[in-house]
Structure 1
Amino acid sequence: MSDANRDYVILAGGCFWGMEQLFQKFEGVIDTDVGYTGGKLINPTYKDVKTGETDHAEAIKITFDTDRTNLKNILHFFFKVHDPTTVNRQGNDVGTQYRSAIFVRNNEQRITSEEVIKEVEELERFKGSVQTNLEDEREFYLAEDFHQDYLLKNPMGYTCHFVRK
């Protein structure tokens, strides 16, 4: 596959372990990396981010094959695997590092993200309104090796993510 058939998006929707596990199984996803983005600290660590004081979110960088899927499909799945109506919270995880956000890198991603959010709102799948932030893409710092593929290595590990109808 050529680089022309690859694209990526960075999403935050709570703890990155569960998000990564579900996206690894999504048709067309080539690779996933978990990390930190959206904050003010250079080269943050989990120890820094978990304080909630760095403004970073636990996020997942999803690389996908554009011949097999597209950003719209990725985003619709994103809204099925987390609750976008809670502010800075997913399940038991509370803090700005667990916010719902799409880190857009260009106008095309912003427009597609806005369209999908509108579609999700119109579906009325959730009791509340979508609180997902659209933030400009910033430096994505890979999380420690321990966090990469965490639930594959630790199948009994914690996750608050699941596929909603």
Structure 2
Amino acid sequence: MAESEQAIVAGGCFWCTEAVFRDVIGVTAVESGYIGGDKPDPTYKEVCSGTTGHAEGVKVTYDPDTISLAQIYDVFLGTHDPTQLNRQGNDVGTQYRSAIFPLDDAQKAEAEAAIERWNAENDGTAVTTIEGGEWYPAEDYHQEYWEGEGQRNPYCQAVIPPKLMKLRKSFQKYLKEDA
């Protein structure tokens, strides 16, 4: 068995992205957090102000024997709208940008290939950026949000289920059995 690997992506509200990846085979952990900004240890309030430069992202830990990085990136690009600049639906601001944060040169090459693949297969052009940055875990109450508070949050109830349906429709072969 290969050692776990990690990928960091940002595609709108991290609650939505985290909910999607929790249902993907080979994914062993998903952590919500902040990346791509210039303020150390930002808070949710600071990131939401749009002044820190951070994106709301998720760090996905996965088993590369079960799912590849290319497949992780394909799921990411296929479950949000990578053509929207600095927004996803009603969530507007640079903190909601579509971005991939490669951890090394091989991940950067895979990110470039994934964006090219998405553009070739879809109507539209992805504005997804490839960036660097230091990872900061979000506050505890953001972790596993959909599994708890998100189920009672009317906004999440309107936004997350369509993303999960997109995952189930387009990426059925990547779903965990209990998803």
TM-score, normalising length: structure 2 = 0.85
Determine whether 1:133 maps to 2:134.
no
SS at match of 2:146: helix
Quote the offset at 1:150 in angstroms: 0.6
Q: Report the secondary structure of 2:72's partner residue.
A: helix
Q: Aligned partners of 1:73 and 1:156: how far apart in 2?
A: 31
1:23 aligns with: 21
Distance 2:107 2:53 in 1: 22
Partner of 1:80: 78
Structure 1 residue 106 displacement after superposition: 1.1
Gaps of 5+ in 2: 171-179
Match 2:64 to one of 50, 57, 66: 66
Task: State the match for 1:94 in structure 2.
Answer: 92
Q: 2:144 aligns with which of 149, 158, 162?
A: 149
User: Where does residue 118 of structure 2 map in the other structure?
Assistant: 120
- Give a deviation string over 1:85-110, Cα, whole Å, max 9, x none: 00000010000000000001211001
- Alignment partner of 1:11: what SS? strand
In 2, Cα distance between the equivalents of 1:105 and 1:98?
20
What residue identity is the alignment partner of 2:137?
L
Task: Kindly provide the CA deviation profile for residues 19-48 of structure 1, in whole angstroms up to 9, marking residues without a partner as x.
Answer: 101100101000000000100111100010
Q: Which amino acid aligns with 1:113?
A: A
Structure 1: any 5+ residue segments left out of the alignment? none
What's the secondary structure of 2:83's corresponding residue?
Answer: coil
DSSP-derived class of the 1:36 partner:
strand
* Whole-Å separation in 1 of the counterparts to 2:73 and 2:85: 18
Matches of 1:119 and 1:46, distance apart in 2: 33
- 1:41 aligns with 39
Matched residues in 1 for 2:104 and 2:125: separation? 25
Separation in 2, partners of 1:105, 1:66? 15
Q: Normalising to structure 1: TM-score of the pair? A: 0.92
Give, in whole Å, the separation in 2 of the partners of 1:105 and 1:69. 17
* Cα distance in 2 for residues equivalent to 1:97 and 1:23: 19
Over the matched positions of the two proteins, sequence identity in percent amounts to: 43
